[in-house]
Amino acid sequence: MKKVTILALHLGIGGIEKALISVANMLSSDYEVEIISTYQVLPSPAFLLNANVKVKYLIPGGKPNKKEFLDAIQKHKFIRASKEGIKAMHLLFLKKIRMIEAIKICDSDIIISTRYIYNLWLGKYGIMNCLKIGWEHNYHNNDQKFINKIVSSVQKLDKFVLVSEELRDFYSKRVPSSCQCVYIPNTLSYWPKKMSTLDNKKMISVGRLEKEKGFSDLIDIFKLFYEKDQSWMLDIIGGGFEQDNLQEKIKMYHLESNITIHGERDESYVRKHLQEASIYLLPSFTESFGIVILEAYSYGLPVVAFDTASGARALVKNNQTGFLIADRNKVAMRDSMLQLANMKELRTKMGINGREYAKNYLEKKVKQKWITLIEEGR
């Protein structure tokens, strides 16, 4: 049986982490699978991992301390900031030397890297006869520095997996022919037996509370919606650096009774709230592959999203499974939310279309793409 190793930064809550655990689970019935994770941010992986998938932590109990460092700076606690800075440098040193050593001694037939820096190390230190695969989840946003960094990182790899056709076509023109660019979408690892009834006056949005996810704009938009209809609620599930700022904006708009930020939650919590919601909102500036869109579809929720996110452009079928809003037009998004809020028949029609579309991303179809990639070899 061939052995597959996946190189991870951590196994906490996040889109990349969810995707790599899904792939590890899919492949574990056909291959011996292990995950080498730099950090251990939680006692156990945030997402359900098959028992036959082995996990090795390079820094057991260790996790990045960026948040603690920035918090100390912001509060002018410079002694604590200095200590956190020294700790951060030590963690980065351990991250590098331990991952390089793990790559050097890895005897797997296939090694999959999920970060650009791991791509570089895999290409430089991976054993000669293994299949070296890079896997990119982030959209480039036409950032030339980021693009150059990604292209440089895969120079010595055999395959480069992209999560959208747009990204595959983009990088195919830029990476050497010796590294084949392949499109494999992320997959739905869970399929609910029942759709939402779409009766509850609840909207939902799930994601990291970071600026690129656009939650500040979403609160502005919901305020515009609230001026027309005060009966709906908005649940925001996720944690991140912007949480305090978002809470302040909600308070400033006097929307505490209508908008709830739930913080970082596990899968079962998110599924429960998707089941209870009637409309999904995606305000992201950027999104390479919106797996959360497919999760919303699986519950029969129509999706309203800005078209600035390439993942939304690829997955939201305008006027069929939801609405795509051009130019980050807040009033236009508000109007689409009002239309769905006032027309259950439209919500139901779009929800059924979305659930049917989401079936294209079930594990059986996506798994075969990975197996084909692996079996084709170098």
CATH architecture of 202-361: 3-Layer(aba) Sandwich (3.40)
User: Is the predicted pLDDT of residue 168 greater than 70, yes or no?
Assistant: yes
State pLDDT tens for residues 191-202.
999 999 999 999
CATH architecture of 3-187+362-376: 3-Layer(aba) Sandwich (3.40)
pTM of the model: 0.85
Q: Which pLDDT belongs to residue 141?
A: 84
What are the helix (H) ranges across 75-200? Answer: 78-105, 116-125, 144-153, 165-172
State pLDDT tens for residues 52-70.
999 999 999 877 877 777 7
> What pLDDT band is residue 282 in, cutting at 50, 70 and 90?
very high
Q: Which pLDDT belongs to residue 229?
A: 97
Contacts of 24 (CB under 8 A, 6+ apart): 4, 6, 33, 35, 49, 50, 53
Q: Do 3-187+362-376 and 202-361 come out as alike in CATH topology?
A: yes
User: Is the predicted pLDDT of residue 378 greater than 70, yes or no?
Assistant: no
User: Is the predicted pLDDT of residue 23 greater than 90, yes or no?
Assistant: yes
Q: What mean pLDDT do residues 128-139 have? A: 93
Torsions phi, psi for 218 (to 5 deg)? -65, -40
- CB contact at 8 A, 333 and 221: yes
| Of 274, 246, 272, 276, residue with least CA distance to 260 | 246
User: Is the predicted pLDDT of residue 275 greater than 70, yes or no?
Assistant: yes
* Mean model confidence pLDDT for the chain: 93
Q: What mean pLDDT do residues 192-214 have? A: 95
Q: Find residue 263's DSSP bridge partners.
A: 237, 238
> What pLDDT band is residue 345 in, cutting at 50, 70 and 90?
very high
The first and second tokens of residue 205, run together, are: 């949005």
The first and second tokens of residue 354, run together, are: 């979305």
Q: Which pLDDT belongs to residue 352?
A: 98
Q: What mean pLDDT do residues 67-93 have? A: 79
Angle between helices 291-298 and 267-276 (to 10 degrees): 50
Q: What mean pLDDT do residues 303-318 have? A: 92
- Nearest-Å Rg of the Cα atoms of the chain is 21
Q: What does 124-144 look like in DSSP terms, one character per residue? A: HHS-TTSEEEEEE-S--TT-H
Q: Which pLDDT belongs to residue 227?
A: 97
Q: Which pLDDT belongs to residue 48?
A: 93
User: Is the predicted pLDDT of residue 75 greater than 80, yes or no?
Assistant: no
Give residue for tokens 């791991």. Answer: 118
* Structural domain spans, the chain: 3-187+362-376, 202-361
Q: How far apart are CA 109 and CA 215, in angstroms?
A: 42
**Count of beta carbons in the 10 Å neighbourhood of residue 253:** 15
DSSP SS3 for 226 = helix
Q: How far apart are CA 111 and CA 310, in angstroms?
A: 28
- What share of the chain in percent tops pLDDT 90? 80
Q: How far apart are CA 226 and CA 254, in angstroms?
A: 11
Contacts of 277 (CB under 8 A, 6+ apart): 196, 200, 202, 203, 204, 235, 299, 301
Q: How far apart are CA 216 and CA 204, in angstroms?
A: 14
Q: What mean pLDDT do residues 199-223 have? A: 96
Distance of CA 360 to the CA centre of its chain: 19
Q: Which pLDDT belongs to residue 174?
A: 96
The first and second tokens of residue 352, run together, are: 């059924």
State pLDDT tens for residues 153-164.
999 999 999 998
